[in-house]
Structure 1
Amino acid sequence: MKTNNVWFVTGASQGLGLILVRELLARGYAVAATSRHLPELQQAVPPEPGRFLPLHMDLRDEASVQQALDTTVRQLGGLDVVVNNAGYGQLGALEELSAAEVQRNFEVNVFGLVHVLRHATPYLRAQGHGQVFNVSSVGGFTGDFPGWGVYCATKFAVDGLTESYAAEVRAFGIRATTVKPGYFRTGFLSAESLGRPSAPLGAYQAVRESQAQHDALSGQQPGDPAKAAAVIIEASEAAEQPLHLFLGPDAYRMAARKIEAVQHDLQQWELAATATNFALAE
């Protein structure tokens, strides 16, 4: 008997979140989906009592998050799978970004996710089972992207948080996965979605080149988000849920390069870096 019948998906009015919601409903799951733009979500997927519950939720407002989760449990009868999908990209060299721009990216991508976990976990823990998918990025595993440092920092935070959270809740039958997509064809890179520096500096040529490359890539990303959604669902139904789920051949290539670079540094500095304990008394 399946236990993952009620899903809670954030950031569901567009992109991967919306596609995931549609695929879940097509497979017979009950879904609560959240967005700051509720009319847009309701237009994309009409409400269906007992099956689909669209909800307004502001990730930066903890009370709003708690209310959305309480409403989900009350109206759909439970909570089995949480997908923290909401987030956005912030472009700009660190020197170019204002403190407010940095803080907002962390508020949405990290602290909003923490609000969801804090208020969803008591439900999952009490029932003795549950699944969590935190949508990170391959940029949460490798940060070699000029101009994406703050965004990568938020996703590195999601990865580290998910690893620790998985260790904390394993004893309660809860499984957690950090999902690390490569480039998928959603609106993530669009002018409307992507945060840009308020004060760009001409000195950062590598950042401007990265910006131009990503602008050209928008709408041409190689990854099919419908296939990404299908893999997430497949992972939820698997006997052993992965802790790390990379999505896309590009994500696999970038991850392999990062692992190779780390192994190189480990080997190069092993002799000096491991001779750092106190000397044993003779």
Structure 2
Amino acid sequence: MNTEKIWFVTGASKGLGLTLVKKLLKDGYKVVATSRSIEDLRAAVTEAADSFLPLEMNLKSEASVQQAIEKSISTFGKIDVVVNNAGYGLSGGLEELSDEEARENFDVNVFGALNVIRQVLPHLRKQQSGHIINVSSIGGFTGMFPGFGIYCATKFAMQGFTESLATEVKAFGIHASIVSPGYFRTNFLTAESLNVPKNPIEAYKEVRDSQDAHQNSINGNQPGDPEKGVAVIIAAAEAEHPPLHLFLGQDAYDLAYQKMELVKADLENWKELTTSTGF
């Protein structure tokens, strides 16, 4: 491990982000961790004071993000690995969720990550190295989850811009990776991390059943171990040739193949018409 690397992790006061920060500090890395609440961050991480820089950051404010990036570099001299982990879940059918609810999810999950990328890239280009790791979801690869259309859309967006990013920054010695976790046993499905529609429509039985399952049956029983998940993320960051797509969990692995088989079936079943459109 190259523990000289400086990590910058967003959404670090809970969930997978908090587990990652604690593991990095334990392994001897220097870590900048951001959260909406610096009090929550300081309460959650109490070790390795000399190696740890907690920062309050508003993802939706470019000025706030810029200040956090500049403070990180002035403290540790550089940033090597950026983990865009901050985000929240949103349950609700497309008809149920208001424009405001949908846009807020995009503002945090998509445009918040883009604000970080926009502000950190000049520094990474200057040093001709770096690795941007964007934490998506298996729901960013397959959208077959009733009641999670907007959330999946935010994560599909992250997958798309990260693929483009990887091609744009390759010439500068910078890597980009998409992490797509399945279900990990964090607080992601608790009330503080999973928003529900303000005006539910009871006619959507599948949506209500899915929401209930995620809040009650699945929450607390997720098969993924966060400690093992973050160890894989660190291993990917240390790899000479890191993956563009990194799926985490047996469930994510299986669901990814299910999606690919569905796409393949549609391609082959409709091949004759699909390929008949040329001049």
TM-score in terms of structure 2 length: 0.97
Alignment match, 1:155? 155
The separation in 1 between residues aligned to 2:220 and 2:192, in whole angstroms, is 13
Secondary structure, aligned partner of 1:187: coil
Task: Give 1:7 shift.
Answer: 0.3
Give the conservation status (yes or no) of the 8 Å contact 1:12–1:18: yes
Alignment match, 1:167? 167
Runs of 4+ in 1 over 6 A off after TM superposition: none
Query: Structure 2, unaligned stretches of length 5 or more?
Result: none
The separation in 2 between residues aligned to 1:50 and 1:130, in whole angstroms, is 22
Give the conservation status (yes or no) of the 8 Å contact 1:50–1:76: no
Task: Give 1:77 shift.
Answer: 1.2
The separation in 1 between residues aligned to 2:274 and 2:3, in whole angstroms, is 47
The separation in 1 between residues aligned to 2:224 and 2:54, in whole angstroms, is 27
Give the conservation status (yes or no) of the 8 Å contact 2:3–2:27: no
Calculate the aligned-residue CA RMSD, in Å: 1.2
Alignment match, 1:229? 230
The separation in 2 between residues aligned to 1:178 and 1:118, in whole angstroms, is 17
The separation in 2 between residues aligned to 1:212 and 1:243, in whole angstroms, is 33
The separation in 2 between residues aligned to 1:184 and 1:64, in whole angstroms, is 30
The separation in 2 between residues aligned to 1:34 and 1:122, in whole angstroms, is 20
State the Cα deviation string for residues 38-78 of structure 1 (Å, max 9, x = none).
11111111375541000000101110001000000000111
Task: Give 1:16 shift.
Answer: 0.5
The separation in 1 between residues aligned to 2:205 and 2:211, in whole angstroms, is 10
Give the conservation status (yes or no) of the 8 Å contact 1:3–1:80: no
Give the conservation status (yes or no) of the 8 Å contact 1:146–1:207: yes
Give aligned-pair identity as a percent: 58
The separation in 1 between residues aligned to 2:186 and 2:194, in whole angstroms, is 12
Worse overlay, 70-79 or 1-10: 1-10
Alignment match, 1:241? 242
For 1:1-282, list aligned pairs within 5 A: 2=2, 5-46=5-46, 48=48, 50-215=50-215, 216-278=217-279
TM-score in terms of structure 1 length: 0.96
Task: Give 1:251 shift.
Answer: 0.3
Provide closer, same or farther for how the CA distance between residues 67 and 132 of structure 1 changes in structure 2, counting only shifts above 3 A.
Answer: same
Task: Give 1:240 shift.
Answer: 1.1
The separation in 1 between residues aligned to 2:180 and 2:76, in whole angstroms, is 29
Paired AA for residue 42 in structure 1: R
The separation in 1 between residues aligned to 2:235 and 2:110, in whole angstroms, is 25
The separation in 2 between residues aligned to 1:272 and 1:4, in whole angstroms, is 55
